[in-house]
Amino acid sequence: MTDSKYFTTTKKGEIFELKAELNSDKKEKKKEAVKKVIASMTVGKDVSALFPDVVNCMQTDNLELKKLVYLYLMNYAKSQPDMAIMAVNTFVKDCEDPNPLIRALAVRTMGCIRVDKITEYLCEPLRKCLKDEDPYVRKTAAVCVAKLHDINAQLVEDQGFLDTLKDLISDSNPMVVANAVAALSEIAESHPSSNLLDLNPQSINKLLTALNECTEWGQIFILDCLANYTPKDDREAQSICERVTPRLSHANSAVVLSAVKVLMKFMEMLSKDLDYYGTLLKKLAPPLVTLLSAEPELQYVALRNINLIVQKRPEILKHEMKVFFVKYNDPIYVKLEKLDIMIRLASQANIAQVLAELKEYATEVDVDFVRKAVRAIGRCAIKVEQSAERCVSTLLDLIQTKVNYVVQEAIVVIKDIFRKYPNKYESVIATLCENLDSLDEPEARAAMIWIVGEYAERIDNADELLESFLEGFHDESTQVQLQLLTAIVKLFLKKPTETQELVQQVLSLATQDSDNPDLRDRGYIYWRLLSTDPVAAKEVVLAEKPLISEETDLIEPTLLDELICYIGTLASVYHKPPSAFVEGGRGVVHKSLPPRTASNESTESPETAPAGAPSGEQPDVIPTQGDLLGDLLNLDLGPPVSGPPLATSSVQMGAVDLLGGGLDSLMGDEPEGIGGPNFVAPPAAAVPANLGATMGSGLSDLFDLTSGVGTLSGSYVAPKAVWLPAMKAKGLEISGTFTRQVGSISMDLQLTNKALQVMTDFAIQFNRNSFGLAPAAPLQVHAPLSPNQTVEISLPLNTVGSVMKMEPLNNLQVAVKNNIDVFYFSTLYPLHILFVEDGKMDRQMFLATWKDIPNENEAQFQIRDCPLNAEAGRPGGNKNAGSTGEWAHKALFILFAPR
């Protein structure tokens, strides 16, 4: 007889019937009824109405029945918090049961009932269970602390459970240690700055000892915990590594990966000259290779991580290329990952084999895989220069197959090869041109057009070819349109006599008939260029292009280092930092590899270094992506895409440059034709305005551009940050930022009323501060602020207030008053708001001013947290910060003179 019978009763009045059965006197009937209830719960029926009846069955000596009732409680307690209290007594009683299985069960289940009222009752039983004689109960209680912390962190701290948990790390039982470590790690995640795990050589030693004795899962908890430790010097790092390496022989792939994480991280601290370093490198390769015989999902995780490891330390797997050869029955996700790693490992030594493989793959059936294989051939050509010729001929072979998607993909990569090795493989152009008609994907069309434009002078019928595309201009995708425009302009500049008509046609198509702003802008720019100064235009459009390199698809080094710290986790699978996919500030702490510290210079190690020592080598803040600059340019600067960046984006940037040069005023002009006199040639900075511009130069142009505009538009303004959360101010939420505009400083405030009553009578006051910042006008809130209303206020500031050096220097303490109460908060203001925009000071004058300061007033201090340097990277921000402004010496006077 099986349990499936419980699923079959679907009669009406079922609940009623169950109720009767639950209250039956017969034990067997009761148990059957509870099983029926659980079965209904399992299939998603709402049986919460039976709550009291089920809870009544809780007091039983039948363990199975008890488990079922507990299960029911876990599911429904949240929806019936008041009734859940009924269960508390039994829980408390069960926590004292002579049977450890029941004690553990009770404490485990109680932790899963996320009802506030219950958690209070949980404390006492939990405290007892943490000290229980039975390790099974202790290990369960350890986890329960983490559960309770998740529900009510304060309670856990107040009750001193954290200390008990820390004590459990020294427990005699390995499973208890492992669970305590896991629970502490979990709790520490929500307290990034706390010193919960308190890792020091002694506790590390304990963990390493427990490592040998606990279950595979416990080993993972401990290894993951170890990975967060920063050894004080290379000797300690080495000794930990030595004790971790045996884990590489564990049958569980997850243990192996966690061990690899520890080793990869601590290796960073070892000197490469050390013999041990070489030994460790050799020890890492075989287990990584063996991971490829695990289950496909684990293989996938392993491959994603190997991809990182190969980028970080290519020497580990450089001789293992063959194991990444694709097998027929590999799942597609494994195939694609293997392909990627093959390219990363490709070198002159093994390129012949790699190419033979890739060519093989390019004839498979799976379209996505074939495409990626073709693309990989192109990447090999770019990566291994000696192989370029072979790659090109392989690609030509593939083009001969005439399989549509293979041809298109091949043309796209051949374009990249041309970017890397210009003027080298022109002989293939003829073959490419033969396939012109079969191209139907925008990317391939755009690539082909680019090739025709780039080599227009060597293709006799380039004009015909391009003209043929022009017929359906408006049906093309933007990518193709932009490419066509550029190619025809190039053609014109190379063969002006025969193609004047063509260029006119494309310019008018792009500027007059198109409603795509990018296309129009580029069209106008070319038009202006050509009509102003064809020679300059030639310099701009036909400028030499920077070469692309294979590095474009490497992961950026800081991100790579961070990801190495996350080996085995989702971050390493996504190749994104956790902050990119984990919501909220909790648990988002950037990791970085430890600095290399030799034992003989241990004075500089982070542990012993004084606060001011140059500990910058151990940055723990690694900035994330997604910033203002990216938004500004609307560029995709995210994780590198495979293959070189598309030319189009750089072209758009070129356009930005040109506009910045002052051309916007000319936009309205009606160009009359070539040679029109009314133009100024764009500044030289804008030269890379054609396809070849790297994003880099585009960006630096942009900064030049801002330096011209910065004076007008004011400096960088940080986004508003919440200064005073509503929770702390009886419903008033204040967020704000500081701005400097044309010489005046202001504080932009946003007041939100999150309370239920109207707020009036606002006023603001600053405490004394380092630079004497003070409100220049009262806080003007004209109307009472009704609930859920927000007002934006710009409060002008001056620097005539009273002065007191603050710590940090740019700290500002503010009080805001309203009809409810007075609230205090503090914030930091960026120093650049204090600097004048036209900050150049005559040298003589500066020296004179400097000398005016009496010598005895000279003292040294450090400006901490001054965002000057970092600010320099902001468009506009550099302007203010870079100059010696009024405040620079005002600060001197103020901070020094009063002595």
Q: Which of residues 39-68 bind other proteins (CB under 8 A)?
A: 39, 42, 44, 61-64, 67-68
Number of residues that bind other proteins (CB under 8 A): 226
Termini Cα distance of the chain: 93
Local structure of 98: helix, strand or coil = coil
Q: What tokens were used for 545?
A: 């292009």
Q: What is the residue type of 809?
A: L
Structure tokens at 351: 């390129």
* Nearest to other proteins of 324, 524 (CB atom): 324
Of the residues 11, 327, 782, 851, which one makes contact with other proteins according to CB under 8 A: 327
Q: Does 853 interact with other proteins (rule: CB under 8 A)?
A: no
Applying CB under 8 A, does 97 fall inside the site for other proteins? yes
- Residue 376 or residue 530: which is nearer to other proteins going by CB? 376
- Tell me if 364 contacts other proteins by CB under 8 A: yes
- Does residue 674 contact residue 534 with C-beta atoms inside 8 Å? yes
Identify residues 72-91 at the interface with other proteins (CB under 8 A): 74
DSSP H or E run through 722? strand 721-724
Within positions 745 to 804, which residues make up the interface with other proteins, using CB under 8 A?
763, 765, 767-768, 775, 777-778, 803-804
In the window 582-601, what residues touch other proteins (CB under 8 A)?
Answer: 582-583, 587, 589-591
Rounded to a whole number of angstroms, the minimum distance from the CB of residue 194 to other proteins is 8
Task: Report, in Å, the least distance between residue 485 CB and other proteins.
Answer: 24
Could you say whether residue 860 binds other proteins (CB under 8 A)? no
Cα–Cα distance for residue pair 290/323, rounded to 1 Å: 9
Counting contacts by CB under 8 A, is residue 300 touching other proteins? yes
The CB-of-81 to other proteins minimum distance in angstroms stands at 14
Asked if residue 146 binds other proteins (CB under 8 A), the reply is yes
Interaction between residue 266 and other proteins (CB under 8 A): no
Token readout for 748 is 């932009």
Q: In the bound complex, what is the minimum distance in angstroms from residue 874's beta carbon to other proteins?
A: 6
**Region from 327-335, 684-692, 746-754, 883-891 binding other proteins, contact rule CB under 8 A:** 327-335
Is residue 448 at the binding interface for other proteins, with CB under 8 A as the rule?
no
Q: Which is nearer to other proteins, 186 or 533 (CB)?
A: 186
Residues 13-42 close enough to bind other proteins by CB under 8 A: 35, 38-39, 42
| Nearest distance, CB of residue 284 and other proteins, angstroms | 11
Out of 124, 158, 163, 198, the residue judged to bind other proteins by CB under 8 A: 198
Q: Which of residues 708-747 bind other proteins (CB under 8 A)?
A: 718-719, 721
207 binds other proteins per the rule CB under 8 A: no
Cβ at position 83, least distance to other proteins in Å: 19
| Residue with smaller CB distance to other proteins, 846 or 893 | 893
Nearer to other proteins, 709 or 863 (CB): 863
Nearer to other proteins, 183 or 391 (CB): 183
Shortest separation between residue 714's beta carbon and other proteins, angstroms: 16
Min CB(778)–other proteins separation in Å: 3
Token pair listed for 374 = 């073709």
- Whether the CB-CB separation of 373 and 362 falls below 8 Å is answered with yes
Of the two residues 499 and 648, which places its CB atom closer to other proteins in the complex? 648
Q: Which amino acid is at 582?
A: V
Instruction: Give kind and range of the element (H or E) at residue 764.
Output: strand 763-766
DSSP character for 527?
A: H
**CB of 207 closer than 8 Å to CB of 226:** yes
CA 192 from centroid of its chain's CA atoms = 18
Provide the H-helix boundaries in 455-532. Answer: 462-470, 478-494, 496-511, 517-532
Question: Quick check: 375 binds other proteins (CB under 8 A)?
Answer: no
Cα–Cα distances in Å, from 709 out to 162, 525, 703, 712, 882? 56, 20, 10, 6, 15
Site for other proteins in 464-503 (CB under 8 A): none
The token duo for 756 is 């239920």
- Locate 898 and state its tokens: 């009063």
User: What is the biggest distance separating any 2 CA atoms in the chain, rounded to whole angstroms?
Assistant: 105
Closer residue to other proteins, CB minimum distance, 11 or 782? 782
Tell me if 164 contacts other proteins by CB under 8 A: no
Shortest distance, position 38 Cβ to other proteins, whole Å: 7
The residue (of 824 and 850) whose beta carbon lies closer to other proteins is 824
**Contact between residue 808 and residue 861 where contact means Cβ atoms under 8 Å apart:** no
- What distances in angstroms separate CA 58 from CA 52, 94, 419, 629, one per listed residue? 10, 10, 75, 61
Binding test (CB under 8 A) with other proteins, winner from 48, 80, 228, 431: 228
Beta carbon of residue 755, minimum distance to other proteins (angstroms, whole number) = 17
What order do you get walking across the sheet with 822-828 strand by strand?
A: 763-766, 811-817, 822-828
Written as six digits, the tokens of 218 are 């416990």
Residue whose entry in the numeric block shows the structure tokens 């090795």: 421
**652 binds other proteins per the rule CB under 8 A:** no
444 binding other proteins? (CB under 8 A): no
Radius of gyration of the chain (CA): 35
Which of 289-297, 309-317, 680-688, 885-893 is the region at the interface with other proteins (rule: CB under 8 A)? 289-297
Long-range contacts of 632-639 (CB under 8 A, 24+ apart): 632/875, 633/699, 633/702, 635/695, 637/695, 639/555, 639/556, 639/559, 639/575, 639/576
Query: Which residue, 407 or 506, has its beta carbon nearer to other proteins?
Result: 407
Task: Tell whether residue 390 is a contact of other proteins (CB under 8 A).
Answer: no
**In angstroms, what is the minimal distance from the CB of 321 to other proteins?**
10
Select from 453, 523, 568, 643 the one that contacts other proteins (CB under 8 A): 568
φ, ψ at 593 (rounded to 5°): -70, 150
CA distance 243 to 247: 8
Report the DSSP beta bridge partners of residue 747. 738, 795
| Binds other proteins (CB under 8 A): choice among 132, 224, 409, 454 | 224
| 624 part of the interface to other proteins, by CB under 8 A | yes
Shortest Å distance, C-beta 301 to other proteins: 5
Q: Which residues pair with 471 in a beta bridge?
A: none
Return the closest-CA partner of residue 313 out of 347, 355, 284, 348.
Answer: 284
